[in-house]
Every structure is written in C-alpha cells, then in structure tokens.
Chains A and B, each alone.
Chain A
Amino acid sequence: MLNNARIKLLELSWPVGISLMLLAAWEGVVRGLGVRSIILPSPSQIIETLIERRELLLANLWPSLALTVLGFALSVVGGVLVAVLITYSSLLRRSLYPIIVVSQVVPKISIAPLFIVWFGTGMMPSLLLAFLITFFPMTINSALGFRSIDEEIHLMARTFMGSPWQIFWKIRMPNALPHIFSGMKISITLAIIGVIVSEFVASQAGIGYLIKLAGGLLDTPLMMAAITVLSIAGLVLYGLIALVEQRSIYWQSSSDIGAIAGG
C-alpha cells in the first residue's frame, strides 16, 4: 500500500515539477520584461486576485456549478434511459439512433442564442445547453455498453433460465458500467462548456458572465482568476467521477480504467 502510494507520488512529481517550472518562467518573464497586467498578469497577481475577490468569484461559481451538475445529471439519467430503449427496441433503435447521430451535425453551441430568445436570460438556457451537449456522448456510450455483452455470457445465462429482467440487472448493467463512466467523464467537461457559452451569450450571473464582464472592463487579472476557478471546478468534478468509477468498477485493474479514460 505504502509502496504503491510512493510510486504514485513519484509518477506525479514530473508533471507537477514541469508545471511549477512553467509558472516560474511565466512569473519571471512578466516581471523581467515589465509586462502590464492588463495584457498578461503574473501567476502571483492572479493568486492575489483569487484571494482578494474570492467572494465575487464564489458567488458567480455556484450558479455555474449548479447548472453544470444539474444538466449533467439530467443527461446521465436521460442518456442511460434512451440507451436502454435503443438496446431493447429495434424499432426505436432504427428510428431514434439515426436522428441522434445526424443531430450531432448541428454544433450545439450555435443554438445558445436561440435558447435565450425562447427562455430569456435566466438559468434555463444554460441548463438546456449543458444537457443537450452531453446527451449524445452519454447515450452513445451507454448504448455501446449495453450492447457489448458477450454472446456466450448471454447464452450461459439463458441455459440457467435467466429472465430478460435478470439478464439486464445482473449482466447488462454491470457490463455497461465502464462505458457509462467513460461517457460521464466526457460529459462533465462538455457540460461546463455548455453552461459557460450560454452565460457568455446572455446571463446575469455565473463564471461565464463574470469572464465576459471582466473582459469588458479590461480587468485581465479577474478574467484569469475566473478561468482558474473554473478549471479547478472542472478538475474536481472530473476527479469525483473518476473516484466513483474506481470504486464501482473494482473488477478492472486501474490500468484498464486509465485505458478507457484515454480512449
């Protein structure tokens, strides 16, 4: 255990070290050349802004975060449900699947202004965009998972008189979990993009709103601080999902999970 932890720390030391070096170089260049903070604030200025204006940042983080998580949750539930329908009904598969795939041609971000026209500048457009942008990867990955069941396992369960209901809960569902989780990991980052873009277009709160506002005021340190907060939030959300994944898919070694995440 201890040995494993040590190996993990050693593995982390390289990317962390390189990042710190880059930050130090950034700091050095900004100070050495006297770059104005309106063009490029130094890392220390960004950290300063993060601390000084934490209340403003947090107040705008919560709505973005809540909409991201809500839109994501809706698309996980919806995507898995539609995937189940597609798996079990060939009629739905033949009619819905092509529509879902073709609808991918529409860049969903371009719909954001339309949502604002329809639903105003409140939270609804952000929520809808987050849902819409994540629905496709969730559905496709889940459907792939439900369908990837080994024919021989299916045959085995049938010889032991397994009912379709039992086969779904005892075989298809656990078998699909790795795919569902990889869909979730793709979706969570996309959900953030959806919310932020919608907030760019029109909103009265949120990190996207703050970034746009700060841009208008040429407050570059605040923009950078907001982007930093957003990145940290994304990292935390992704990490939470990866953690639940590791716990849930205990039968795969961690290297397998890495391969899925990578692919």
Chain B
Amino acid sequence: MSRKLTECSAPVLRIKNVQKFYSDLEAIRNVSLEVAANEFVSILGPSGCGKSTLLMMIAGVVDKTAGEISINNVPVTGPRRDIGAVFQQPVLLPWRTVLDNVLFPVELLKLPRAKYKERAMELLRMAKIEDFASNLPRQLSGGMRQRTAICRALVHNPSILLMDEPFSALDAITRDAMGVELLRIWQANRKTVIFVTHSIREAVFLSDRVIVMGRRPAILMEETPIGLPRPRDIAIMESEPFNAYVRQLRKAIEVSHAQ
C-alpha cells in the first residue's frame, strides 16, 4: 500500500518563493513547496513560526508579500471554492445544529442544500457523529466538535484540505483517536491535505511527507518522506520504523533551531 512520491501526477498545489512581511517583520522567507494530488503533507514547526500564515495564504485569506501560489495551475488571489479548512478551534456556530454547521459552506457557496444534505449525513456517519446531527454544538464533546469541523471542511468536496493544528486543543488521548479517525475519513475521501502541527508523532503518523519549518523568519528546512505502509492504525506508533522517523525529525528540528 506504500505510495511513492514518483507515482504522483502534476502538483495540485505549487508554492514558489513566497515571502510574507508584517510591516517590518519578516514572517516567512522564500518558501517553495509542491504538493501532489491526494498527498498528505505535514508542516512541522514550533508554535508561532509562521505555519498558520502560510496556510492562510494558501487559503487566499491572507495576502502574500512576494512569490506565487497556485492551485491546479490557477494563481490564488482570494478565497476559492476548492479549499476546505479546519482550524485550531472547531469554530462552529453555536445557534446551528451539527448538520447545519456542516452545511454552512454549502450555504455560503450557494450550492443546492438538498443535494448536499445527503453528503453531509454520509460524512457525519463516517465521523461517527450522525446520531448528533440535530444536536447543538454545546451538547457535544471537544473531539466531536472538531470532527464536525472536519465534516464541514469536506462537505463541498474541495480538492485541498487545509488543517491548522486541528487537534492541538484536545487532550492527548482524544488527540490520538482523532488522528486515527482523520486517516479513516481521508482513506475514504482522498484529498490533498496540508496539515500544520507542532507534534512530531502526529506528523509521522498521518503524513506521506513531513516538512520541517524553521523559526522566524520561517523557511522550509527539511523534507522527510514517510514510507510507512497505509492504512495505518494506532499500533504503528509502537513500531521501530515509526520511532526512527520521529528521531530523525527531532534531530532536523534541533538543527533548524540551532541556526
């Protein structure tokens, strides 16, 4: 089941020499990255290193200072309909039921609600929260809320899923379980995923490729393909190859911080 990079077709996402200044502060310097269709790429780095900024530039909600970002060969100039995003917090609307929250992008994009309702229910089923479809967010646990947010990001069938430390607000046990859930949903709903995290183990467990990002101004430091077989389950975290990757990445991070 192992998937090599060479099998991948033309890149879906292409980032070239992107730079970001916040007034005088250089947040991101000269970042280039190509991501293939259906590839799961993690960007690993310390909190506040500019990972989120990069993600929001891909989403088209933050302007870049210089460089190029294109999705399916079309330059990103603003928000686009082929992107789904999951944030650190679930950011659900408290007055909407779980189902209506999932259908929120469908409404904003003016897509036919009736047609997408079935897909939303299917996603909720896959995320094992279909029983809560008509509940309000406050009646859900933190993990269930974040699963709702993942369903919301997938409902309009985007080609790229952007995830900004989506599990960092959850406790450690829920967090591992959510990683497993995410992979299960992803196996059934193949997407290009850009996953930002500061957890090495999470990055190794989920990704085809992990990219280490250095401190401010952020530059992409090192790329590590993860050759672990798929589908992966939680037991793989105990395996020697897994831990070898973790060690390798930890070393890469130490090097990036020494600079």
Q: Return B2 CB to nearest CB of chain A, in Å.
A: 32
Whether the pair B89, A155 counts as a contact (CB closer than 8 A) is: no
Q: Which residue of the partner chain A has the closest CB to B96?
A: A251
Instruction: For A152, give its contact among B87, B104, B108 (CB under 8 Å).
Output: B87
Q: Could you say which interface size class chain A belongs to?
A: 20 to 34
Q: Is there contact, CB below 8 Å, between A153 and B93? A: yes
The 3 closest A-B pairs by CB, nearest first: A160-B105, A251-B95, A159-B85
Determine the distance from Cα of A162 to Cα of B79 in the docked complex, in whole angstroms. Answer: 9
**B13: chain A residues within 8 A (beta carbon):** none
Which residues in B have their C-beta under 8 angstroms from that of A162? Answer: 108
- Stretch from A31-39, A166-174, A202-210 contacting the other chain: A166-174
List 13 other contacts, CB 8 Å, given A161-B81, A251-B136: A153-B93, A155-B61, A156-B87, A158-B79, A159-B59, A159-B162, A160-B104, A160-B105, A160-B156, A170-B104, A170-B108, A171-B93, A250-B95
Which residues of chain A come closer than 8 Å to B136, judged between CB atoms? 251
Residues of B within 8 A of A (CB): 56, 59-61, 79-81, 83, 85, 87-89, 91, 93-95, 104-105, 107-109, 136, 138, 156, 162
State how many angstroms separate the Cβ of A193 from the closest Cβ of chain B.
33
Interface residues of A in 141-169 (CB under 8 A from B): 150, 152-153, 155-163, 166
Contact A152 B109 (CB under 8 A): no
Alpha-carbon gap, A163 to B88, bound state (A): 23
| Listed A/B pairs (20) with beta-carbon separation below 8 Å | A150-B91, A153-B93, A155-B56, A156-B91, A159-B59, A159-B60, A159-B79, A159-B85, A160-B79, A160-B104, A160-B105, A161-B80, A166-B107, A166-B108, A170-B93, A170-B104, A170-B108, A171-B93, A251-B138, A252-B94
Q: Collect the chain B residues with CB atoms within 8 Å of residue A160's CB.
A: 79, 85, 104-105, 108-109, 156
Q: Are B91 and A153 in contact (CB under 8 A)?
A: yes
Which A233-259 residues have a C-beta within 8 angstroms of B? 249-253
User: Which A residues lie at the B interface, using CB under 8 A?
Assistant: 150, 152-153, 155-163, 166, 170-171, 174, 249-253
Q: How far is the CA of A144 from the CA of B230 in the complex (A)?
A: 50
Whether A161 lies near B109 (C-beta < 8 A) is: yes
- Bound state CA distance, A170 and B96, in angstroms? 10
Which residues of chain B are within 8 angstroms of A171 by Cβ–Cβ distance?
Answer: 93
Chain B residues with CB below 8 A from A252, complex form? 94
Q: Give the CA-CA distance A105 to B85 in the complex, in Å.
A: 48
Are the CB atoms of B89 and A152 closer together than 8 Å? yes
Is the CB–CB distance between B108 and A157 below 8 Å?
yes
CB distance from B12 to the nearest CB of A (A): 17
In the bound assembly, the distance between CA atoms of A110 and B106 in angstroms comes to 54
Q: In whole angstroms, how far apart are the Cα atoms of A214 and B76 in the complex? A: 75
Q: From the candidates B85, B94, B138, name the one contacting A156 in the complex (CB within 8 A).
A: B85
How far apart sit A249 and B136, CA to CA, in the bound complex (Å)?
A: 12
For B85, list chain A residues within 8 Å (CB).
156, 159-160
CA–CA, A250 and B91, complex, Å: 18
Chain A residues with CB below 8 A from B94, complex form: 251-252
Across the two chains, which residue of chain B brings its CB closest to A163? B108
Residues of A within 8 A of B104 (CB): 157, 160, 170
Which A residues lie within 8 Å of B81 (CB)? 161
Q: Are B87 and A155 in contact (CB under 8 A)?
A: yes
CA distance A251 to B101 in the complex (A): 13
